[in-house]
Amino acid sequence: MNKINVIVGTNNFGLGPVGKVSSIINASKDKFNWYACGNEFDLNIFKSGTFKDKLFSKDKEKIEDFVTKYDIKYAVVVLDVVLAKILLSLNVKVIFVDSLPFMWTQADIDEGLLPLDATVYCAQKCINLTDASKKVLKQITNLKWVNPIQNFSDGKYRPFKELYNVLNVGGLHSPIGNGESYIYTVIIPIVKYFMNHNEKLIITCGSNAKNSINNVLDKLEIKNNNLKVSTLKQQDFISTIINSNIFITSPGLTTIYETSSLNKPTIIIPPQNLSQFYNIEYAKKILNKYKTMNWETEKLNLTYLDKILDKGETFVVDKIYEYITELVNTKYDDEFYRRFENILKENYANKIKSNFNINGNGADDIKDELFNLIEEDKNV
């Protein structure tokens, strides 16, 4: 039986969406031919040969030629609304994956940020939905709730033989910037702490983030044999978490779910974008053992950001990047160093009780939805 060709696409806001694509592909056990399309995303986290071909373009005519050339009738798109809408207009059946259903407001619909008419709209289960997000979800044509999307790995395999502390920052790049302000205010103080204490540290991140971090390290003339900055294939990433001494991460929701399934004590550092402010609060109900660090500034907190959320997600994210940039050259990095030093001495907190349960893997749920679409077409 010939394998069916499927397009996958995602946005390039951080590394979380790309990780979800990887998990979805891994869950399908090589049952499909995969083609990458839309925004360029980090191919370094995938096994070589994962994609039969790729077209990193949003030009509709080029995408139409690509779809026709490979006879593609199905797509899985993670949070890339523009690509989803183009594919739908070309009569490709689109499974749209939304890992942020708790965040949307009517302003986001008015901006066209959601493909309400996706063939199947898969929203990842979450703890709290606002009244605004509930109203948004009611407007979706074919909404399906899926479990958190995760990937798993054998903890016996060790990508790094030495005992490392791990700092995971995922993808720092976004359409707004390259995350340099975050590197100066948060990442560099953590690096300095471990280097000052002669401890090994590996920073895990996407390829673009790796370049940005290395550029800042070079500017500051920080060179140390105890320090590595690496982009890891997803299986290696999970194994590195399992085998880490201390695990520290920015609050990406996929990483939080995966860390929970690994039962790994976790230190969460300040958010890089809007969704991650919510993720810190979710993490307290998901992780068995955790410590959290937030910005502790007047504007970079959820209470303040909620007051301006009615202006839409794009507006708020712009403001977050603006506020982080304002902290550079204010001695905030020295303050963060002291706070990080103190939190390492604190005990891990225990998970807050909630009714939230994970009953499976969203990657398998999406695989099933894809099989269902294919079976439906066979029976027509």
In the predicted model, is pLDDT for residue 150 greater than 80?
Answer: no
pLDDT digits (tens, 9 = 90+) for 343-360: 999 999 998 877 777 777
Residue, of 357 and 254, whose pLDDT is higher: 254
Residue, of 168 and 310, whose pLDDT is higher: 168
**Which residues, 6 or more positions from 163, have their beta carbon under 8 angstroms from its beta carbon?**
200, 243, 245
The pLDDT > 90 percentage for the chain reads 50
Q: 59: how many CB neighbours lie within 10 A of its CB?
A: 11
In the predicted model, is pLDDT for residue 154 greater than 60?
Answer: no
pTM over the 0.85 mark: no
| Spatial distance between the Cα atoms of 176 and 325, rounded to a whole number of angstroms | 12
* pLDDT of 15: 66
Confidence class of residue 52 from pLDDT cuts 50, 70 and 90? very high
pLDDT digits (tens, 9 = 90+) for 7-32: 999 986 666 788 889 889 988 878 89
* pLDDT of 235: 76
Q: Which of 24-33, 51-60, 188-197 has the lowest mean pLDDT?
A: 24-33
Amino acid at position 95, single letter: I
Beta strands in 177-264 (DSSP E): 201-205, 227-230, 247-249
Domain ranges of the chain: 4-149+361-378, 165-350
Is there a shared CATH topology between the 4-149+361-378 domain and the 165-350 domain? yes
pLDDT digits (tens, 9 = 90+) for 159-188: 677 889 999 997 676 656 668 899 999 999
What tokens does 92 get?
Answer: 């490709």
Report the CATH fold assignment for 165-350: Rossmann fold (3.40.50)
Beta strands in the chain (DSSP E): 4-10, 32-37, 51-55, 74-78, 93-98, 120-124, 143-146, 165-170, 201-205, 227-230, 247-249, 266-268, 289-292, 349-350
Residue, of 92 and 306, whose pLDDT is higher: 92
**Which residues, 6 or more positions from 62, have their beta carbon under 8 angstroms from its beta carbon?**
55
Average pLDDT, the chain: 88
The label of the residue with tokens 């706070």 reads: 339
- Tell me 88's DSSP state: H
Within 13 Å, how many C-alpha atoms sit on residue 198's CB side?
A: 0
What tokens does 187 get?
Answer: 């990442």
* pLDDT of 216: 94
Per mean pLDDT, which of 1-10, 28-37, 65-74, 252-261 is the most reliable? Answer: 65-74
- DSSP secondary structure string for all residues of 113-128: -S-TT-SEEEEEP-S-
In the predicted model, is pLDDT for residue 262 greater than 60?
Answer: yes
Residue, of 107 and 9, whose pLDDT is higher: 9
| Spatial distance between the Cα atoms of 277 and 250, rounded to a whole number of angstroms | 10
* pLDDT of 110: 87
What crossing angle do the helices spanning 332-345 and 188-196 adopt, rounded to 10°?
A: 60
Name the phi and psi angles at 311, rounded to 5.
-85, 0
* pLDDT of 286: 85
Q: Cβ(190)–Cβ(333) under 8 Å?
A: no
Distance, first Cα to last Cα, the chain: 19
Report the CATH fold assignment for 4-149+361-378: Rossmann fold (3.40.50)
In the predicted model, is pLDDT for residue 1 greater than 60?
Answer: no
In the predicted model, is pLDDT for residue 380 greater than 70?
Answer: no
